[in-house]
Homo-oligomer: A and B are copies of this chain.
Amino acid sequence: MSLLNSVQELEKKYRLTANQRALLISDGSTTTLLEAFTGQTVLVKGRSQSIVRADARLASELQVEPKSEVSKRIVHLVSGGSSEILAYAISYTPIERLSPALLHDVQRTDIPIGKILKMHKIESRREIKEIGFIRDTHFKEIFGSECGMYRTYLIIHQNAPLMKIEEYFPLRSDEHYESSVGHRSRDE
C-alpha cells in the first residue's frame, strides 16, 4: 500500500489538512516543512539526550547487535515566532555509525536532524515505516491536546539505518477525533 493510500485510510477516521498530510508522508526535512508552513524559523529545544542500549526490537530496526550503544535524543520543534510546540521528536542513532563530529552535533540537541545531515553533506534516503493517530495524556502538557498523529521513519546511509526517528504532531481534540481514534498509550 502506498503512503498516500495509508493517509486515505487514516482520513476515513479523521479529516486531515493538506499540511498534516505532508508532515506524515514527505521524505524531506520536517523542520523545513514546518518553517514553510509557519513562515517562521523553527527552533530545536533539546529535552533530553542519553546513551541507551538497544533492546531486541530497536536493534532489529537499526540493524545492530542487541545491547549496542544508541544515542537517544528527545526534542521539541518550536515556532520561533509564536513559541508554540509544533512537534515532539525522538531519534535513535547507533553510536557505531557516527563519526565523532556527527556524534557531537547529534548530542548538542539544538540543531535539527535535517540541518545536521546538510552540514555534513550526508547522502541518505528516508524510509517511512508507519504513520497513524495516537492519543496520549502526556501530549496534553506539550501540545495542549491529548490527540496527535505520528510517523516513524529510518534515515538510511551507506545501506544501513543511520537513525530511527519518531515524530509526533498535535491534532485538535474534538468530538469526531475522540470517538474515531480512541485511546492508546504510547508504549502499546
Instruction: Give A contacts to B, CB under 8 Å.
Output: 3-4, 7-8, 11, 18-19, 21-22, 24-29, 32-33, 35-41, 114, 117-118, 121-126, 156-159
Contact = CB atoms under 8 A, between A and B. Distances in A.
A18 B33 CA distance: 9
Given A21-B37, A27-B114, A123-B157, 18 more contacts: A3-B32, A4-B35, A4-B39, A4-B40, A7-B36, A18-B36, A18-B37, A18-B39, A22-B36, A25-B36, A26-B26, A26-B29, A27-B28, A28-B126, A118-B125, A121-B156, A123-B123, A123-B125
Given A123-B158, A125-B122, A125-B123, A26 B37 contact: no
B22 A33 contact: yes
